[in-house]
Amino acid sequence: MRARRHEAWVDENGELVPALKDLKYDIGNMLNKALAAVEEENDALLYAE
């Protein structure tokens, strides 16, 4: 899963998710998913010393 502010994406269940800027409901859950995707992509940066 790759979160994008301006583009919709397909989640791990194959469902289309609207762009973060267009969310109207379930915002907290979607922001958590977006944050998890960012952390996953940048795992090496988060734990670098």
What pLDDT, on a 0 to 100 scale, did the predictor assign at position 34? Answer: 79
The strand pair at 9-10 and 16-17 is best described as antiparallel
- CA-CA distances (angstroms) from residue 42 to 23, 33, 36, 39, 46? 24, 14, 10, 5, 6
What pLDDT, on a 0 to 100 scale, did the predictor assign at position 30? Answer: 79
What pLDDT, on a 0 to 100 scale, did the predictor assign at position 39? Answer: 81
What pLDDT, on a 0 to 100 scale, did the predictor assign at position 20? Answer: 76
Report yes or no on 42 lying in a domain: yes
Q: Mean pLDDT in runs of 10 for the chain (49 residues)?
A: 67 80 82 81 69
Tally of domains in the chain? 1
For residue 20, what are the domain limits? Answer: 9-46
What pLDDT, on a 0 to 100 scale, did the predictor assign at position 49? Answer: 58
Report yes or no on 2 lying in a domain: no
Q: Over the chain, what is the mean pLDDT?
A: 76
Report yes or no on 20 lying in a domain: yes
